Amino acid sequence: MNIKNPLYQNQGVHVLATIFTVEKGEIKVLLIKRNNEPYQGMWALIGGAVYNNETLDEAIKREIKEKTAIENINLYKADLFDAIDRSPVFRMFCVSYIGIVDSKKVRIHKITEKTKDADWFLLNEVPNLAYDGNNILKRNIEVLKEKIVNTDILKNFYSGTFTMPELLKTYEIILNKKIDRRNFRKKVLNFIEDANKEIKFEGNKPAKLYRFKKSVKNQNVL
């Protein structure tokens, strides 16, 4: 490798995270509004450039903490984006991550040195994002679909209890398909248990509350 070769120069690595949460069965993603150029004033996924003294995982955790104050988040590598023109500054590769939090358990800083706002958005209300954020979000949603039927990732959305209709709605939104309620109930009872409590969900009659069992290998309902 000839480090003086100009084809090796002016390159860097981004790490960007799609941080998801569930509110009353609806999936939301956390976005920040950029305070600096490029894309000043635009909403964006959370992340930034990797320092040359840190790993990818260290970089995304640092960026999330700096721009939202969220710590101790469950993160999963999702995909790599290598379009030559994805950054107007110079060539930037991007490693994307999926992050999952219980929005009731975190407090987000709205304004930081590099951001002027932060907020949760429903997936169908996400605006035009900085860089190739919309493409990354779309791909990460596909990765999330794969993971909720092959792993126990969904339990990270719920640190406490939830209703059966709420859980069904979450699955239907992520998978983008209707699921038979009776068949769904039979399958989820393999990995959730009755919490012996009730609550109203979407104004209907009281519904039982459930919680995930401690040892769950996957949560496939298909």
Q: What is the pLDDT of residues 130-176, one digit of tens each?
A: 999 999 999 999 999 999 888 888 888 887 889 998 899 999 999 99
Asked if 85 contacts 139 with a C-beta cutoff of 8 angstroms, the reply is no
Bridge pairing between strands 11-23 and 115-122: unpaired
pLDDT, residue 220, reads 75
Residue 186 placed within a domain: no
Total Cβ atoms within 10 A of residue 159: 12
Domain presence at residue 34: yes
- What is the tens place of the pLDDT at every residue in 15-41? 999 999 988 888 999 999 999 999 999
Q: In terms of Cα–Cα distance, which of 165, 159, 212 is closest to 185?
A: 165
More confident residue, 104 or 89: 89
Strand partners, 193: 211
pLDDT reported for residue 203: 63
Average pLDDT of every residue of the chain: 91
- Kind and range of the H or E run holding 165: helix 164-175
Give the separation between CA 92 and CA 68, rounded to whole angstroms: 23
Amino acid present at 134: N
Considering only residues 190 and 81, tell me which one the structure prediction assigns the higher pLDDT. Answer: 81
36 within domain boundaries? yes
Residue 71 lies in a domain: yes
Share of the chain above pLDDT 70, in %: 97
Structural domain contains residue 77: yes
Domain, as residue range, for 100: 6-134
216 phi and psi, to 5 degrees?
A: -135, 120
Report the alpha-carbon distance of residue 55 to residue 57 in Å, rounded: 5
> What pLDDT was estimated at residue 204?
66
| Greater pLDDT, 44 or 206 | 44
Quote the pLDDT of residue 202: 63
83 domain residue, yes or no: yes
What's the number of domains the chain is made of?
A: 1
Element (H, E) at 140: helix 133-150
Report the alpha-carbon distance of residue 76 to residue 66 in Å, rounded.
19
Q: What is the CATH number of the domain that holds 92?
A: 3.90.79.10
Identity of the amino acid at 137: L
Token output for 19 = 């941080």
How many beta carbons lie within 10 A of that of residue 150, not counting itself?
A: 12
Instruction: For residue range 49-83, list pLDDT tens digits in order.
Output: 999 999 999 999 999 999 999 998 889 999 999 99
Residue 65 lies in a domain: yes
203 in any annotated domain: no
pLDDT at position 221, please?
78
